[in-house]
């Protein structure tokens, strides 16, 4: 059985707290962040950590994720998103066009297509901010849960990120911060194309 160590920012003693605190200081100073947790892939299963937060979602989930190759049978987040659909909780998820492409080596295309067929899940595909640059991407990795919780960090929802990479996941319970992320999500969402309508290049 995997042993999890849930640690708040004040409990980190491995030298990582100062860096994370610097990165978040400006946001936390203005939003009054009530609880912040940092998880690391060498100590935790980040897919399961994120899934645990999603399981408590009751109103909506908005997600902008660069890659989403964890699917049925090997992805706890994927399974929890399906559970949200079963509970009639609306989900909007956008992902990067190159990562989600049917020509990519990952299983993102199949996973996103399966999700898009569900009644309460909308999937869109997004290109980079600079659409004239073929190498630009939608590189975000964040989720907003019920307008009150943000999941973010370096973590991609892939098997490599879960099992092989040095990654981090931040869980931030704060409504003001969630509102800022949700504003960004709406801007991204408006520039995306519905999964079923996207014209895939080769």
Choice among 146, 173, 183, 202 that is catalytic? 146
Residue 3: inside a domain, yes or no? no
146 is catalytic: yes
Residue 93: inside a domain, yes or no? yes
Q: Which CATH number fits the domain that encloses residue 152?
A: 3.30.870.10
Residue 1: inside a domain, yes or no? no
Choice among 114, 116, 139, 175 that is catalytic? 139
Choice among 141, 164, 194, 197 that is catalytic? 141
Residue 25: inside a domain, yes or no? no
Whole-angstrom distance, CA of residue 48 vs CA of residue 76 = 6
175 is catalytic: no
Task: Enumerate residues 6+ apart whose C-beta is below 8 A from 172.
Answer: 24, 33, 35, 36, 37, 149, 150, 151, 152, 178
Domain count, the chain: 1
Model-wide pTM > 0.85: no
pLDDT per residue of the chain (202 residues) written in tens, 0 to 9: 333 335 544 454 555 555 454 444 444 444 455 799 999 999 999 999 999 999 999 999 999 999 888 777 678 999 999 999 999 999 999 998 888 888 776 778 888 999 999 999 999 999 888 888 888 999 999 999 999 999 999 998 888 888 899 999 999 999 999 999 999 999 999 999 999 888 877 6
- Location of structure tokens 């203005």: 30
Domain hosting 65: range is 31-197
């Amino acid at each position: 059985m995997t042993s999890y160590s849930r640690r708040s920012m004040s409990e980190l003693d491995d030298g990582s707290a100062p860096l994370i605190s610097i990165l978040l200081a400006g946001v936390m100073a203005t939003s009054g962040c009530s609880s912040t947790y940092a998880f690391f892939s060498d100590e935790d299963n980040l897919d399961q950590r994120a899934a645990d937060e999603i399981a408590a979602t009751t109103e909506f989930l908005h997600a902008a994720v660069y890659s989403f190759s964890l699917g049925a049978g090997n992805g706890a987040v994927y399974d929890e998103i399906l559970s949200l659909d079963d509970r009639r909780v609306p989900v909007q998820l956008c992902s990067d066009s190159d990562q989600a492409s049917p020509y990519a080596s990952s299983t993102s295309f199949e996973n996103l297509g399966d999700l898009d067929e569900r009644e309460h899940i909308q999937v869109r595909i997004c290109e980079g901010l600079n659409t004239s640059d073929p190498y630009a991407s939608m590189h975000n990795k964040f989720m907003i849960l019920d307008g009150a919780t943000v999941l973010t960090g370096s973590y991609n929802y892939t098997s490599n990120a879960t099992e092989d990479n040095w990654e981090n996941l931040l869980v931030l319970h704060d409504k003001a911060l969630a509102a800022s992320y949700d504003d960004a999500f709406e801007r991204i969402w408006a520039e995306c194309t519905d999964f079923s309508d996207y014209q895939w290049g080769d």
